[in-house]
Amino acid sequence: MLRIFSFALTFFLGVLLMTSKTEAGDPENTLHLDLEYGRVVIEMRPDLAPKHVQRIKELVRQGFYDGLLFHRVITGFMAQTGDPLGTGVGGSGVNLPAEFSDAQHVRGTVSMARSSNPNSADSQFFICFAPAPSLDGKYTVWGRVVKGMAYVGKIKRGDPAANGTVIDPDRIVRMQVAADAKD
């Protein structure tokens, strides 16, 4: 009986450790995006977009994203943020070369926004609400939501007639690299 209990306890602890490791992943390549609704955990993908991940981490560590609006949110498509002007035309001032991959834009994908110039991504990014195969290979995928997609789903939607422009939009409360997080 003691042997069975010992095995069960070991198995349970192993599952618990695997689960917490899966949620946390590599703290240096994990973001905590805090919304008023709760925490969204994003696993960054330096294997797909090393320059974009490096730049996102630089901006996060500068506090660049804290307080920024979700200025463009389209039901069934995506929520976009990262513009310090809140209009969709601003950025950090540093354009990044495209790092397109074969990664698909599915629910929870985090990808860079850009203009018609493939090398114009800066600080704006979006989180997909649903698959968007028309974006595959044309936008730089740099991460995926691994926890908190229900909170992303609560972000206030914009007007479809105004290309998703949001009146009184939700904001990023705080964004942190998990390795730096205090909480």
Q: Averaged over 34-45, what is the pLDDT? A: 98
Q: Has residue 93 got a pLDDT over 60?
A: yes
Q: Is 122 among the domain residues?
A: yes
pTM of the predicted model, to two decimals? 0.87
Q: Is 148 among the domain residues?
A: yes
Please report the pLDDT score of residue 25 as a whole number. 85
Please report the pLDDT score of residue 11 as a whole number. 43
As a whole number of angstroms, the distance between CA 3 and CA 89 comes to 64
CATH code: domain of residue 79? 2.40.100.10
Q: Is 18 among the domain residues?
A: no
Q: Is 114 among the domain residues?
A: yes
Q: Has residue 114 got a pLDDT over 80?
A: yes
Please report the pLDDT score of residue 65 as a whole number. 98
Largest CA distance in the chain: 67
Q: Is 44 among the domain residues?
A: yes
Strand partners, 167: none
| Residue ranges making up the domain that contains 101 | 28-180
Please report the pLDDT score of residue 15 as a whole number. 40
Band (pLDDT 50/70/90 cuts) for residue 24 is low
Given a contact cutoff of 8 angstroms between Cβ atoms, the answer to whether 90 and 84 are in contact is yes
Please report the pLDDT score of residue 183 as a whole number. 81
Count how many domains the chain has: 1
Nearest in space to 73 (alpha carbons), one of 147, 137, 127: 127
Nearest in space to 124 (alpha carbons), one of 89, 159, 160, 155: 89
Q: How far is CA 167 from the centre of its chain?
A: 22
As a whole number of angstroms, the distance between CA 75 and CA 165 comes to 11
